[in-house]
Structure 1
Amino acid sequence: MRRWTWGIGLLVLAVAVTACSSSNDNNEINGNKTSNESTGGKTVVTMAVVQKDPGGWLEQAEKAYESKYPNVDIVIKEYVALPERSPSKVINVLGEVSPADLEKYRNAINTDLMSGKGADIISVSELNIEKYADKGVLADLGALMEKDQDFDSANVFGNVMDAANGGGKKVVAPIWYDIHFVSSALEPKQLKVEDASWKWSDLLLQGAELAKDLPGDLEIMGGVAPTALLRKIVMSDYDHYINQEEKTASFDTEEFVGLLNQLKELYGKGMLSDNFDKAIENRDIFRDQSLASPLIALETLQSKRQIWNPPGNGKHSGLRFSSNMMLAINSKSGVTEEAWKFISYLLSEKAQSNPGMWAGLPMNKAAVASKLKRNGSGMMVFGTTDKSSVKTKEPAEVTAQERERLMAYIGQPGYFHGSDPRLMDIVETETAAFFAGEKTADTVAKLIQNRIKTYLNE
């Protein structure tokens, strides 16, 4: 399930948005239309996304680019429309794209790519990137970067770009990204973690022991639904559960059934919860969070909380990244260089310094520094969407030392989970019935096993 949300406490993000109704909104990207066709003497570059960003940044970037290059027409098609916006309307952006809508997008893009048609630029965050890279339907962005004399790869975070491509051939470019981590308010003398080797089973065991021994009616973790937590656990040890090369799965096992029952028991006892009640009072042992803006990242580093990389399986090290705006270019595009030019503009300091980009960490280094000098567009408001409650702060002065500390942290090597989002959706949707008490753990494990094996062998 795809959500425009992150971290604890981001219950409502109120943003005053001026509506940007693009003249391209109603244009369809027809699979039978070649991308290098011109309209009125303009070169048309088409782009397919699941959904545009709620802040309107992508539309603003489109207009700015077309103003700079009047001979280019950027046509963006979103497959799931955002709620209608109006000038100065305060919007609640904790919406989500349904699994059914994601399937429609994946199927449409798959048909286009495998038939050599479709959009020039494609949002691939919700696709199995490795599958399409192996089939050669995604253009070599690395070659385009080298050929483009106006693009300096040193201006963007190379650690994130490399991680998004598994350290290999560059076929995708994250436009923005999040860094995931686990934190705790407990002091090191109370809680020590070896995050280079810990697993979710260690977190659950250690958290349960501390919640039992320490005063204050503590919980292991809050603010995460059981299906979402299970998805995190499976994704962190993806190769253990799914072998895509051999097309096998390991869900119909005593181990997985035991994991389901363990989580259900912990939620039933209140040791895990899907609300923030105890977290707001700092009565949670662990907190699953993400850094989604430079200021949030800086404030997190300056806090007294302990911070660790998320649990894994020992095969990955460093920071854990994710992005819901990763772009690739269709290898069959007739306007490959023009498509890259637009992506490179989206990665530029000018585009990424725009306050409309608040949904993630900028890929552009200078834009990160720029956003540390302002309080951004929109304030975090807890428990309300009332515009009158939005209060702006005076921009805090960030010292050079603080900025360097942040840049050093987010510049560390890391990884993206190379999992197939569609398989993770199967795990999350099928286990919902178990946690709701409608099906047994054994039944759900068998359903997941059968569905995933069927998918792997399609």
Structure 2
Amino acid sequence: MRKQVWVVLTCAALATSACGAGGSGEAGGTSNKEKPKNKDGKTVVTLSLKQPDPFFQTVEKKFEEKYPDIDLQIQSYKQPGEKWEGGDFEKYVKTTNTALLSGKGPDIVELSDLPVDKYVHGKLLVNLNEVFDQDKSLKKEEMNLNILDGLKNKDGGLYTIPTSFYLRTYIGDGDSIKKANVKIDDANWTWDRFEETARKVREKEGGGKAKRPVFADDPGVILQEIIMDRYGELVDPATMKAKFDSNSFTDLLKSIKKMYDEKVMKSEIAEGETALFYSSAFLTLQDLVAVPYMYFSNPKLLQKPHAEGKKGGIRIIPADEFGVQAKSPVKAEAWTFLSFLYSKDVQSLQDLKGFSLLKEVNDKKLDEIQKQAKAGTFELPAGKTANVSDEQFNLYKELIQKADSYSAFDIKVLSIINDESRAYFSGQKPAEEVAKLIQNRVTTYLNE
């Protein structure tokens, strides 16, 4: 489970009658294009998915029952049962890029794992911020608005919205932290402060035993986690310029390698051994309660370290991110669908991935788990027991409602970093050479 998807990887704009006609990339009503109709005179709205999803088939049926004048047509890159083979994802990205650039693609686009920054920079997506604010049908006081606020770019634009979301936190050994009497201010810690704190906990364990590693994972995974939080520093979304040939990046490489050289971190640990901290993605509310006990009998949920000058927080991983193509002739209808995704009718569906955007839905599920925990019927990992207090359940709800840490990143850039950094961590190339290779490859990619 420690190698859980770290990235479980990952609109419309338009409006209400109060919105005027919008230009490319702006919120507004209909464009100058004529709205497409089917043979029955219904307005056609197209939605693209990477592959078929029964959840969205159910949503499509419910949506068309509520809005009989709209024909939602779902398109999938992959056919049912078709597997993803080598090179398929690159072809999918290229196909999506071409469709968005031409303005002839689907109205609503699934953007999970796609280069959203490139699309925003090219004005290919609608800024949904204004239309979301003006939509009176949404009961915003009932929503986890912290999630959508976290997804806004630094200029306040909201170009993608998720159907739901996952969370990622650090999990610490609560007993070791308490024994070491080390105060952890995880709301304000940077990576450097985390390292300093973790070393103190490790040193104070004592007992003459070999010191436990702070983390047990590949150095490339640690690097990627840090890069995800600092992505905006290394790739400027406004200019699409890379900065991997900077001293700060080479210093980061060196600091990570030093911890592995000193055995503070390890790629692998012996059977039965545990690290002091783990990074974990929670894909369900059941995970949020149960997974920490896989590692420790007294787990402590902690915010992830963040870049200097940035705010801390629980990291958001959007699920099923959607955006609206800037040249869509049915922006208003597209928004009607995206707004429908936040209805209780959809957010309460059993097949909804991850956590709901509605507070009530999450709270209800957590209350059910709490009752099961008290009755001793909640399933923990095999062989594990736990006494989950009421206070802990209150903490879970608080974590969900405060989660707002998100930094958009390009999965292709992360792939390049992972490919090239191996040579440094294995001692084959110096940090400066690897940084230059990454800089050149990323720059070439961003200019494509």
TM-score range, shorter chain: 0.7 to 0.9
Asked if the contact 1:198/1:311 (under 8 Å) is kept, the reply is: yes
Identify which range, 366-375 or 249-258, moves more after superposition. Answer: 249-258
Per-residue deviation, 1:80: 4.8
Per-residue deviation, 1:284: 1.4
Name the counterpart of 2:107.
120
* Gaps in structure 2 of 5+ consecutive residues: 8-32, 370-377
| Structure 2: distance between partners of 1:98 and 1:272 | 34
**Aligned pair partner of 1:75 in 73, 76, 79:** 73
Per-residue deviation, 1:312: 1.2
Name the counterpart of 2:30.
none
In the alignment, does 2:214 pair up with 1:220?
yes
Name the counterpart of 1:408.
398
- Distance of aligned partners of 1:318 and 1:98 in 2 relative to their CA distance in 1, 3 Å threshold: farther
Find the residue that maps to 2:44 and give its secondary structure: strand
| Structure 2: distance between partners of 1:422 and 1:192 | 38
Find the residue that maps to 2:171 and give its secondary structure: strand
Asked if the contact 1:6/1:292 (under 8 Å) is kept, the reply is: no
Question: What do residues 284-317 of structure 1 show as CA deviations (whole Å, max 9, x unaligned)?
Answer: 1111123332343356899843332211113321
Name the counterpart of 1:61.
59
| Structure 2: distance between partners of 1:409 and 1:381 | 20
Question: What do residues 3-30 of structure 1 show as CA deviations (whole Å, max 9, x unaligned)?
Answer: 98469xxxxxxxxxxxxxxxxxxxxxxx
Counterpart amino acid of 1:111? T
Counterpart amino acid of 2:303? N
Per-residue deviation, 1:403: 6.4
Per-residue deviation, 1:46: 1.4
Per-residue deviation, 1:450: 0.8
In the alignment, does 2:300 pair up with 1:306?
yes
In the alignment, does 2:169 pair up with 1:181?
yes
Question: What do residues 344-372 of structure 1 show as CA deviations (whole Å, max 9, x unaligned)?
Answer: 22222221212212x32111222213333
In the alignment, does 2:375 pair up with 1:350?
no
Question: What do residues 376-421 of structure 1 show as CA deviations (whole Å, max 9, x unaligned)?
Answer: xxx98979xxxxxxxxxxxx9997x876654333222623113333
In the alignment, does 2:319 pair up with 1:331?
no
1:417-428 pair list within 5 angstroms? 417-428=407-418
Per-residue deviation, 1:119: 0.9
Find the residue that maps to 1:203 and give its secondary structure: helix
**Aligned pair partner of 1:367 in 333, 344, 361:** 361
1:92-131 pair list within 5 angstroms? 100-131=87-118
- Distance of aligned partners of 1:415 and 1:290 in 2 relative to their CA distance in 1, 3 Å threshold: same
| Structure 2: distance between partners of 1:197 and 1:258 | 21
Find the residue that maps to 1:227 and give its secondary structure: helix
Counterpart amino acid of 1:58? F
Asked if the contact 2:118/2:240 (under 8 Å) is kept, the reply is: no
| Structure 1: distance between partners of 2:331 and 2:132 | 12
Question: What do residues 14-51 of structure 1 show as CA deviations (whole Å, max 9, x unaligned)?
Answer: xxxxxxxxxxxxxxxxxxx9972425444332112334
| Structure 2: distance between partners of 1:211 and 1:398 | 27
Counterpart amino acid of 2:108? I
| Structure 2: distance between partners of 1:412 and 1:181 | 12
Identify which range, 59-68 or 295-304, moves more after superposition. Answer: 295-304
| Structure 2: distance between partners of 1:114 and 1:345 | 27
Give the TM-score taking structure 2 as reference length: 0.73
Per-residue deviation, 1:449: 1.5
Per-residue deviation, 1:146: 4.9
Per-residue deviation, 1:331: 2.3
Per-residue deviation, 1:243: 3.9
Give the TM-score taking structure 1 as reference length: 0.72
- Distance of aligned partners of 1:373 and 1:207 in 2 relative to their CA distance in 1, 3 Å threshold: closer
| Structure 2: distance between partners of 1:256 and 1:200 | 13
Question: What do residues 221-250 of structure 1 show as CA deviations (whole Å, max 9, x unaligned)?
Answer: 13x433222111223233443345565544
1:191-270 pair list within 5 angstroms? 191-204=182-195, 206-208=197-199, 210-211=201-202, 214=205, 215=207, 217=210, 218-222=212-216, 224-245=217-238, 248-252=241-245, 256-257=249-250, 259-260=252-253, 263=256, 266=259
- Distance of aligned partners of 1:266 and 1:50 in 2 relative to their CA distance in 1, 3 Å threshold: farther
**Aligned pair partner of 1:154 in 141, 157, 162:** 141
| Structure 1: distance between partners of 2:431 and 2:232 | 21
Per-residue deviation, 1:451: 0.7
Asked if the contact 2:189/2:305 (under 8 Å) is kept, the reply is: yes
| Structure 2: distance between partners of 1:210 and 1:284 | 11
Asked if the contact 1:237/1:312 (under 8 Å) is kept, the reply is: yes
Asked if the contact 1:369/1:403 (under 8 Å) is kept, the reply is: no
Q: CA RMSD in A?
A: 4.1
**Aligned pair partner of 1:166 in 140, 153, 157:** 153
Per-residue deviation, 1:110: 2.2
| Structure 2: distance between partners of 1:272 and 1:361 | 31
- Distance of aligned partners of 1:365 and 1:37 in 2 relative to their CA distance in 1, 3 Å threshold: same
Per-residue deviation, 1:174: 1.8
Name the counterpart of 2:265.
272
Counterpart amino acid of 1:232? E
Asked if the contact 2:215/2:276 (under 8 Å) is kept, the reply is: yes
Name the counterpart of 1:139.
126
| Structure 2: distance between partners of 1:380 and 1:277 | 27
Question: What do residues 322-346 of structure 1 show as CA deviations (whole Å, max 9, x unaligned)?
Answer: 2142211112212222222222222
Per-residue deviation, 1:60: 2.4
| Structure 2: distance between partners of 1:189 and 1:437 | 37
Find the residue that maps to 1:326 and give its secondary structure: strand
